Structure 1
Amino acid sequence: MKLSHNNIRFLLVSLSVLLLFSLTGCWSSHEIEELSLGVGVAFDIGKKSTIEKKINEQDEGYSKKDQITTTYQLITSQLASSMSKEGGSQQQSYVNISETGDSILQEVRELSLVTDLPFNASHMKVIVIGDKLARSYSLDRLLDQYLRDNDFRPSCLMFISKGRARNTLVSKKAGEVPAFRLFGMVDNAYRSTRILPPISIIKLDGKLKSGSSFLLQNVISENGEVKFAGAAVIKGKTKKLRGFLNEEELEGITWITGKGKGGLVKSFDKQTSGLIVYEIASMKSKITSHVKGNNISFVVNIESEGRLSENWVVSGNSFDNTFLKRAEESTEKEVKRLVDHTIKKTQKEYRVDVAGFGNRLRIEHPKVWEKVKKDWDQTFSEVPIYYNVKITIKDYGASGHK
């Protein structure tokens, strides 16, 4: 039997209608108005809130140790609605809720005891860990629950706070969400060599499993204001906080790795002591490993091109090649100082490799790496490191001293 064109069309339409009934849709979903969206979380050494102390006085609640205080930053559509109605002048655009205990998952679940809206972590932007806690617990233990949670956003960025982490999730600026502020600040890397490439929780998982030491951006807070201030050194073996690099030392790391996107170098002219500011247009670095018998060494070749952005040398003619050469040499000297100081700090004081020297050895001399990788941080602290710096001023603005 041959079907007509109309019959075929009728069968296709009927089949499409029947397929619609098989689609369940988002049957288990919640309306956005019914959710508390978690956008930031901070971990600190345990410190009970007033209400938690009250509960303990009544001898109620779960049995738990007061090891970790977790602060969740939440936003809801109700908050956004009240903001728009009141013009955003007084109303905060976020709510911070803290829970104290010894289980991260239990603390999440206890949010349901203090808010009527279910907690949702799929929009999480930042995790900040206080320095005291990071010295006491390994990061893989602290973040185990989040690394296992499929609902947790893998692009969430990691920070360490020198001080209480919960204070970094506070702002006095109306309408500002502190978690969004921190998340956005990393985009300023093209303006400064003091901002690390962002490390998401998924990248952190890889670093923790590799056993290598690494850096996390340090953020400090005071009265609702925050600032990126150097980096936290995480030791690969213990996965705990080893110490901090200050802002200049982080600049040194940026020059060693060549991962800077922009920034400046401030130096002083050797003849007049006048201030010279070099603005970075490009930066690259190449680390080369050398093996001779049982001896390992490294050479770091750093190159950068940029512009003379500020010149306080009264007699310095920006159009004069002799002066430009002095400016380049002055900048090179300052970069060498930053690099030398940072290498000494990481090798002699902290005894950790956070700049990727071991990775270059692994790539260039894999057999040697297999012999030394178990105690690489210790070996790294004893190897010679040499470095060369080449600065080229390609641009000096539209005017100069005559």
Structure 2
Amino acid sequence: MKQTDNNVRFLFVSLSVLLLLSLTGCWSSHEIEEQSLGIGVAFDKGKKSNIEKELNEQEEGKDLITSTYQLITPQVASSTTKQAGPQKKSYVNVSETGNSVLQMARELSLRSEQPITGHHMKVIVIGEDLARSFNLEQLLDQVFRDNDIRPSCIVLFSKGRASNTLETKAAGEIPAFRLVGIVDNAYRTTRILPPMSLNKLDGKIKSESSFLLQNVISVNGEVKFAGAAIIKGKTNKMTGFLNEEELEGVTWITGKGKGGLVKSFDKETGQLIVYDIESMKSSIKPRVKGNNISFDVNIESEGRLSENWVVSGNPFKNEFLKKAEKASEKEVKRLVRNVVEKMQKEYRVDVAGFGNRLRIEHPRVWKKVKKDWDQTFSEIPINYHVKLTIKDYGTSGSAKK
């Protein structure tokens, strides 16, 4: 028995030693102090930096791209915490111009001893001029292939120079984090699209369907989400733009809003009524009769009466609540009708998912029309049905009868 126990101990010790020998540890690791963490990148039409002009560098080809990388380095982080002041930045922006996205990233190694890493990349912003002239599949090919950049990284569009969205005048604020934070505010408004991650964007591009990219504008270091860019499926280039109201219409059609409000006006007094959205759902129902296709859009929402400028309106009375509901429904119908008209008549694109519903419910019909779907969609009749219900009106109001 004793001999058996000794054999077991010897075997256990031997296995432990072998396992220790096989452990490599972090042999391929790099110290955090030696890294520059890339947290954002902006792509714009080519514009050479001062140092590139000084070197008089000439790239082959005329279609140049300027990549602006937002970096956080240990030196920046430590100095920011030690020194306070309105001019102190918590980030560094570095730009490179060329015709290869990968080469531009590698060029940074000629300007700093700290190589850039993309593991923490949060946002990619694409400028308008670039999106109009470049195919997004080609532009982002290297990004899609890069194992360093996570598929959850979100993609935005910018009217104007995308690099401007990675600037701020607020001390301690990091622009890339600010953009991601605004995306998270979708529960407060119908003017923010669901986040478009690299993973989702790759699927949209491969499907050849038209889609929207959230637009962000920047002025003097301040930014605002304002409307969306229309990316045409056939070309994967920007073909148009939806303003903030039109983006609201798309949100109502898709039913993907998490919150927001509807401003309408009382029919009799012309005074303001504000409906606060608590829930929203929508269904797109395709109708097929022979060669004729049509759609019914059924929108439902529950919310609360959050602001009422109608002095004579008593929110405790069902009669007034019904009037408020009808006024809000009329406004939603207007938003939906306007954006559908713009999609069908001006841009001839489907960016609200009508084709996808047809593909799901009538796959045989979809196979016949999918090749020229955007053109076909522009001639299809669409009917709207909107039902809003005020479930809550707060405690303010008159109890008089």
TM-score (norm 1): 0.97
Seen in structure 2, the aligned counterparts of structure 1 residues 400 and 17 have a Cα distance that, compared at 3 Å, is same
Distance 1:86 1:301 in 2: 56
Q: Kindly indicate whether the alpha-carbon contact (under 8 Å) linking 2:60 and 2:99 is maintained by their aligned counterparts in 1.
A: no
Residue by residue over 1:56-77, the C-alpha shift from the partner in whole angstroms, topping out at 9 and shown as x without a partner, is: 1xxx676565611110000012
Matching of residues 182-261 of structure 1 within 5 Å: 182-261=179-258
Aligned to 1:77: 74
Residue by residue over 1:254-291, the C-alpha shift from the partner in whole angstroms, topping out at 9 and shown as x without a partner, is: 00000000000000000111100000000000000001
SS of the counterpart of 1:28?
Answer: coil
Shift of 1:106: 0.8
Matched, 1:9 2:14: no
Aligned to 1:168: 165
Aligned to 1:27: 27
Distance 1:312 1:53 in 2: 59
Aligned to 1:41: 41
Aligned to 2:114: 117
Distance 2:294 2:10 in 1: 78
Q: Kindly indicate whether the alpha-carbon contact (under 8 Å) linking 2:59 and 2:99 is maintained by their aligned counterparts in 1.
A: no
Matched, 1:377 2:374: yes
Aligned to 2:54: 54
Aligned to 2:288: 291
Distance 1:62 1:305 in 2: 57
Aligned to 2:155: 158
Q: How many residues align?
A: 399
Seen in structure 2, the aligned counterparts of structure 1 residues 75 and 293 have a Cα distance that, compared at 3 Å, is same
1:92 to 64, 89, 93: 89
Matching of residues 244-393 of structure 1 within 5 Å: 244-393=241-390
SS of the counterpart of 2:350?
Answer: coil
TM-score (norm 2): 0.97
Residue by residue over 1:144-185, the C-alpha shift from the partner in whole angstroms, topping out at 9 and shown as x without a partner, is: 001111111111100000000000000111111100110111
Deviates more, 1:300-309 or 1:147-156: 147-156
Distance 1:287 1:365 in 2: 13
Residue by residue over 1:23-60, the C-alpha shift from the partner in whole angstroms, topping out at 9 and shown as x without a partner, is: 1122122101100010000000101111111111xxx6
Shift of 1:91: 2.2
2:134 to 137, 161, 165: 137
Distance 1:230 1:63 in 2: 36
Match of 2:331, as an amino acid? E
Match of 1:184, as an amino acid? G
| Structure 2 residues not aligned, in runs of 5+ | none
In percent, how many aligned pairs have the same letter? Answer: 74
Aligned to 1:181: 178
Report the aligned-residue RMSD.
1.4
Q: Kindly indicate whether the alpha-carbon contact (under 8 Å) linking 1:64 and 1:101 is maintained by their aligned counterparts in 2.
A: no
Q: Kindly indicate whether the alpha-carbon contact (under 8 Å) linking 1:66 and 1:100 is maintained by their aligned counterparts in 2.
A: no
Distance 1:347 1:129 in 2: 25
Distance 1:336 1:308 in 2: 19
Q: Kindly indicate whether the alpha-carbon contact (under 8 Å) linking 1:307 and 1:395 is maintained by their aligned counterparts in 2.
A: yes
Match of 2:376, as an amino acid? T
